[in-house]
Structure 1
Amino acid sequence: MSEVITIVDACQRDGAGGSPTAVLDDGPFTDAERCRIPTELGTSHAVFLRATGIECHRPAYTLRFFTAQDELPACGHGTVAALAVLAQPEGGDHDYRAVLRTAHRSFDGRAGRIGDGLTASFDTGPVSLRSAGGPELRAVTDGLGLTMDAVAGDACVATNGRPRLLLPLRSRAEVADLTPESTLLRAACDRYGLLGCYAYSPPDRHGRAAARMFAPSIGVPEDIANANSTACLAAHAAGSGTHRLAVDMGDHLGRPSTITATVHRDRTGDRIRVGGQAAIVRTVMR
């Protein structure tokens, strides 16, 4: 039986670029077969959907995320891509909502049309933050080809699924100029149990920033768009009064992307929604 695979450009900027992501219904695949999908289709990730019925009067789906190397517990731009596919049959300006579930949690996902484009967002769940220790920070900066003097603020380790280092640099230009040494960076991330390093410029007064995410430990030397790390940055920035972010990524890879994040407080604490524009590019029969 053939599978229909939808390729989505997730987290586009102004209707272009974005991270190509494969989305398909889950089936009796082995994990090795799931890992082959990104390689075969030239995407960084593949998202596997399984309908599980109705929850809270909304359709419910389980999501699984794979790179060519392994399964991930979460993938932000993959979630945006999945929502774009799920919302597509609705058409028009209908606001689509679903209950999404991963191995560790269930959460609210939304999608809708703005003009000719589609936007999707989801609740990322809690983010934990801790200061980055000297040895792990030094090891990661070495892997990025930087000295410790290049760090322009409080580096921290943020977790909303797996820990990653958030590394502040002085400017967009310094972010753009990064030339990591993948072997060293992977060794540093493996040693300290990090998903990777998210290097970013200080948000301007409008909450605009630039970032690059390096995750060689999971087979992604550089991610075009990383929504979960942007959610982590939003949690960190909220501590200094910034509650809305728009983070540009992917320029170095020729795939301009933008992820938005908002933080609001309710009785349970800070709640973070992250998302972006998405476009369905094509379908593939396999």
Structure 2
Amino acid sequence: MAEDPEVLRYSAFAATAEGGNPAGVVLDASRLDDAAMQRIAAEVGYSETAFVVGQDADEPTYRVRFWSPAAEVPFCGHATVATAVALAERDGPGHVAFETLGGRVELRSATDETGTVTVSFTSVDPEVRDIDDEVRDGLLALLGLTGADLDPRFPVREAYAGNWHPIVVIAERDLFHQFRFLPADVAAIMRELGWLGTVTVLHELRPGVFEARNLFPVGRITEDPATGSAAASTGAYLREHGYLERTIRIEQGRHVGRPSALVVTIPDSGGIEVTGGATRIR
């Protein structure tokens, strides 16, 4: 029986040395079948592991798949950044593209004078859609919230930039930090509605800066420390609702002890750009 390929481990979007969202990266997964990728992702135990399953011979385009410990997901932002950093460390910085189940993602990497790699990825063309009133009210109830708790400028919607994310914006900061949820119940509604990313809960700290809690009760964790796909979806959501700031900072991970920061650039149209780095976990 052939040995499994090497699994690299990175922490993406870290705001402190102890922060960020860990991801597994397998740079040569061309010989792995679905069962093997699922098994490796479960053994790694991170929220997602990325598998590079092929490369275009004529251009720097890679076919990448993402697996949580429980299932395959179409797209994962922090694992995308981790994979791009791993490729830049191996091959040098520059432009690459990932073909994912969620669509084609363009990436640019750069290295500073210390050797630190920063990656910016541009999401697929996003979508924002209304959410059924009954679904909205059921979700809010699972979070112990009502419509009166929401920021009136930002209605609950679903946004897509590789994965569908329901987006909830809470008006009061204390409530944002204090709300509780039952992971099993939230996981059930996510499975029922095909929310393969996270439930994204936000609070605007000040213009251009949001704090995020991304609920992800489908693996060994219940909240994601940093979520690139949700950050891109948030950018699309804010653009749809006429938000004036075009570069925003999303602070995440405080509630799980892994502070993270994601920078989101919102163009007038097209894909949303998310920027961050990843550090190798030795």
Q: Supply the AA of the counterpart residue of 1:240.
A: Y
Match of 2:109 in 1: 111
Conserved 8 A contact 2:43-2:69? no
Cα displacement (A) at 1:187? 2.8
Q: Partners in 2 of 1:214 and 1:243 — Cα distance?
A: 25
RMSD across aligned C-alpha pairs, in angstroms? 2.1
Q: What is the CA–CA distance in structure 2 between the aligned matches of 1:96 and 1:157, rounded to whole Å?
A: 33
Instruction: Give matches, 1:25-104, under 5 Å.
Output: 25-55=28-58, 58-90=59-91, 95-104=93-102
One-letter identity of the residue aligned with 1:187: A
Q: Do the aligned partners of 1:227 and 1:259 also contact (CA within 8 Å) in 2?
A: yes
Deviations 1:245-279 (A, max 9, x none): 110111111111111110123xxx33311121211
Counting only pairs closer than 5 Å after superposition, residues 233-244 of structure 1 correspond to structure 2 as 233-238=234-239, 239-244=242-247
**Aligned residues of 1:136 and 1:192 also touching (Cα < 8 A):** no
Distance apart, 1:106 and its partner CA: 2.3
Q: Which runs of 4+ in 1 moved over 4 A?
A: 217-220
Give the AA of the match of 2:188.
Answer: A
Match of 2:130 in 1: 131
Give 1:60 shift: 1.6
Identity of aligned residues (%): 25
Q: Hey, what does 1:270 align to over in structure 2?
A: 270
Q: Write the deviation string for residues 117-151 of structure 1: whole angstroms up to 9, x where unpaired.
A: 32111110111112333211111112112233212
C-alpha distance after superposition, 1:152-196 (max 9, x if no partner): 231111122332210001244333223111122223333433334
2:156 counterpart letter in structure 1: A
Secondary structure class of the residue paired with 1:35: helix
Is the CA contact 1:8–1:21 (under 8 Å) kept in the aligned structure 2?
yes
Question: Is residue 67–residue 219 contact of structure 1 (8 Å, CA) maintained in 2?
Answer: no
Matches within 5 A, 1:129-278: 129-153=128-152, 154-195=155-196, 196-202=198-204, 204-205=206-207, 207-217=208-218, 221-238=222-239, 239-265=242-268, 269-278=269-278
Task: Please state how far the C-alpha of 1:218 moved relative to its aligned partner.
Answer: 6.6
- Residue 265 of structure 2 contacts residue 272 of structure 2 at CA under 8 Å; is this kept in 1? yes
Q: 1:131/1:219 Cα in 2 relative to 1: closer, same or farther (>3 Å)?
A: farther
Residues 235, 272 of structure 2: 8 Å contact kept: yes
Structure 2 segments unaligned to the other structure (5+ residues): none
**3-state SS, counterpart of residue 146 of structure 1:** coil
Q: In 1, are the aligned partners of 2:82 and 2:277 still within 8 Å (CA)?
A: no
Cross-structure match for 1:23: 25
More strand by share: 1
Give yes or no for contact 1:199–1:212 (8 Å, CA) kept in 2.
Answer: yes
User: How big is the shift at 1:19?
Assistant: 0.8
* Change beyond 3 A, Cα 1:162–1:51: closer
Verify the 8 A CA contact 1:259 1:276 in the aligned structure 2. yes
- What secondary structure, in the 3-state scheme, does the structure 1 residue paired with 2:13 have? strand
Distance change in 2, residues 1:194/1:99 (3 Å): closer
Instruction: Check the 8 A contact 1:70/1:218 in 2, yes or no.
Output: no
Contact kept? 1:100, 1:107, Cα under 8 Å: yes
Contact kept? 1:142, 1:184, Cα under 8 Å: no
Aligned to 2:11: 9
1:81 deviation in Å?
0.6
Equivalent residues of 2:186, 2:217 under 8 A apart:
yes
Matched, 1:280 2:280: yes
Q: Tell me the residue number matched to 1:120.
A: 119
User: Are the equivalent residues in 1 in contact too, given 2:45–2:69 (CA < 8 A)?
Assistant: no
Q: Point out where structure 1 has 5 or more consecutive residues left out of the alignment.
A: none
Q: 2:126·2:270 contact (CA, 8 Å) conserved in 1?
A: no
Tell me, yes or no, if the aligned pair for 1:208 and 1:245 is still in contact at 8 Å: yes
- TM-score norm. by structure 2 comes to 0.88
* Deviation of the 1:14 alpha carbon: 4.5
1:80 Cα deviation from its structure 2 partner: 0.3
CA shift for structure 1 position 88: 0.3
Q: What SS is found at the alignment partner of 2:125?
A: coil
Cα deviation for residue 229 of structure 1 reads 0.9
Residues in 1 aligned to 2:270 and 2:104: alpha-carbon distance in whole angstroms = 17
